[in-house]
């Protein structure tokens, strides 16, 4: 029977056997090759983002389609794919769709399940079942391990779908970590002046290598940004700190009528936000979540050698518990489920 790494209680993952999955109409079963660990997985793992347990987490994955249900195009069989995380009316190709899908917002589908997060077992497993409409083929020239970054890169791109930026604008990224570094990269691709803010010297250095034109500590951020913007503040400040207080710092750095782009999904409420300053400065807070896979795959294909360096380790499924524990202090941890065992640490690939 296929193996799964199931979250059975906060901070407890058990490796179990599960009956082989059978796809229903408009569904496919994907044999998972690799799955990435992100901040949302850590919030689920710690219990800060409470969901009914047990649950198989994992929503960033690459694998091969191994079986298809009724109504699914047969040509998907055997193709290497990744998948969007929302299993929506649209992804199920339903003839009657919910009001959100009708309005063209399938990522907010009212009937959706979310792979590895809400009412839907995810990809920390040998196989995962998803709606066929979520699939995207991995381009031939894209390294399949690096392709596990598609979903987080799409989420990074969505930041600027919801908070548009133009060339030459100042964008601050608070917390250039797992997701934040991809946001730095995305803003730099758009020709913005990007300032990365982190306590970690290593993260500041890395941000400069991923397109930030400046990097500073949280203490130095305000004077640095004011100096750059004639005292106004940044056009867009992205909070990717993963910390509920990040938004307060963002408010101190954004210009009047600027945008705070919220990317933190730590599952905890923000206390002490100065709403008066928000109102007086006419600041907009804009959340954003799942993004477009097609441009993410194109960017990955073009910049894979650089983006691959963000992967700090690859661990086997049997070590899922350790993989999640160590993801708190690493950048991108991948769980490798199938294929040759490779273990990536900093710059050297090692065979395990
Ligand atoms: Zn994620
Ligand atoms: Zn819907």
Residue 310 pLDDT exceeds 60: yes
Residue 351 pLDDT exceeds 70: no
User: Residue 196 domain-assigned?
Assistant: yes
| CATH code for the domain in which residue 112 is found | 3.90.180.10
Mean pLDDT score, 79-85: 97
167: left (phi over 0), alpha (psi -120 to 50) or beta: beta
Residue 110 pLDDT exceeds 60: yes
Q: Same domain for 88 and 51? A: yes
- 231 CA from centroid of ligand 1 (Å): 35
- 227 CA from centroid of ligand 1 (Å): 35
Residue 308 pLDDT exceeds 60: yes
State how many domains the chain has.
Answer: 2
Q: Same domain for 168 and 244? A: yes
- 77 CA from centroid of ligand 2 (Å): 26
Mean pLDDT score, 80-103: 97
- 116 CA from centroid of ligand 1 (Å): 9
User: Residue 43 domain-assigned?
Assistant: yes
CB atoms within 10 A of CB 307: 21
Q: Same domain for 329 and 231? A: no
CB atoms within 10 A of CB 246: 24
User: Residue 159 domain-assigned?
Assistant: no
Cis peptide before 54 (omega within 30 of 0): yes
Ligand nearest the Cα atom of residue 61: 1
User: Residue 157 domain-assigned?
Assistant: no
Residue 248 pLDDT exceeds 70: yes
- 170 CA from centroid of ligand 1 (Å): 26
User: Residue 175 domain-assigned?
Assistant: yes
- 118 CA from centroid of ligand 2 (Å): 15
Mean pLDDT score, 306-333: 93
Q: How far, in Å, CA of 267 to CA of 46, rounded?
A: 10
Q: Same domain for 279 and 296? A: no
Q: How far, in Å, CA of 219 to CA of 187, rounded?
A: 23
**pLDDT value of position 347:** 43
Ligand nearest the Cα atom of residue 88: 2
Mean pLDDT score, 97-124: 96
Residue 269 — pLDDT band, cuts 50, 70, 90?
confident
Residue 348 pLDDT exceeds 80: no
- 214 CA from centroid of ligand 2 (Å): 42
Residue 14 pLDDT exceeds 50: yes
- 106 CA from centroid of ligand 2 (Å): 6
Ligand nearest the Cα atom of residue 291: 1
Torsion of the alpha carbons at 271, 272, 274 and 276, rounded to the nearest 10: 90
- 206 CA from centroid of ligand 1 (Å): 21
**pLDDT value of position 339:** 66
Q: Same domain for 93 and 183? A: no
**In terms of residue numbers, what domain contains 245?**
164-287
- 98 CA from centroid of ligand 2 (Å): 4
Q: Same domain for 13 and 106? A: yes
Residue 349 pLDDT exceeds 50: no
Q: Same domain for 168 and 265? A: yes
Which residue among 287, 311, 336 closes a domain? 287
Please write the tens of the pLDDT for every residue from 146-156: 999 999 999 99
């Amino acid at each position: 029977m296929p193996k799964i790494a199931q979250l059975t209680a906060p901070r407890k993952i058990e490796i179990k056997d599960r009956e082989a999955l059978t796809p229903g109409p408009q569904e496919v079963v994907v044999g998972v090759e690799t799955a990435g660990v992100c901040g949302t997985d850590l919030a689920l793992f710690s219990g800060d983002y409470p969901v009914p347990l047990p649950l198989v987490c994992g929503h960033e994955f690459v694998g091969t389609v191994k079986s298809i249900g009724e109504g699914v195009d047969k040509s998907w069989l055997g193709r290497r794919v990744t998948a969007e995380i929302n299993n929506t009316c649209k992804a199920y190709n339903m003839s009657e769709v919910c009001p959100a899908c009708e309005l063209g917002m399938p990522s907010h589908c009212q009937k959706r399940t979310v792979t590895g997060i809400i009412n839907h077992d995810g990809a920390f497993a040998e196989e995962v079942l998803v709606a066929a409409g979520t699939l995207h083929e991995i381009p031939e020239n894209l390294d399949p391990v690096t392709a596990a970054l598609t979903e987080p890169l799409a989420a990074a791109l969505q930041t600027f779908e919801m908070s548009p930026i133009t060339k030459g604008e100042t964008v601050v990224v608070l917390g250039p970590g797992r997701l934040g570094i991809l946001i730095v990269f995305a803003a730099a691709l758009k020709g913005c002046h990007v300032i990365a803010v982190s306590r970690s010297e290593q993260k500041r250095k890395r941000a400069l290598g991923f397109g930030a034109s400046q990097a500073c500590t949280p203490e130095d951020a305000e004077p640095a940004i004011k100096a750059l913007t004639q005292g106004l503040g940044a056009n867009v400040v992205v909070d990717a700190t993963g910390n509920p207080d990040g938004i307060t710092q963002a408010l101190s750095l954004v210009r009047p009528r600027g945008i705070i782009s919220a990317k933190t999904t730590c599952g905890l409420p923000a206390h002490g936000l100065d709403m008066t300053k928000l109102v007086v400065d006419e600041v907009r807070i804009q959340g954003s979540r799942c993004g477009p896979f097609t441009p993410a795959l194109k960017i990955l294909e073009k910049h894979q050698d650089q983006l691959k360096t963000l992967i700090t380790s690859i661990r086997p499924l049997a070590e899922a518990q350790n993989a999640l524990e160590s993801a708190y202090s690493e950048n991108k941890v991948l769980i490798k489920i199938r294929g040759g065992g490779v273990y990536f640490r900093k710059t050297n690939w090692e065979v395990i």
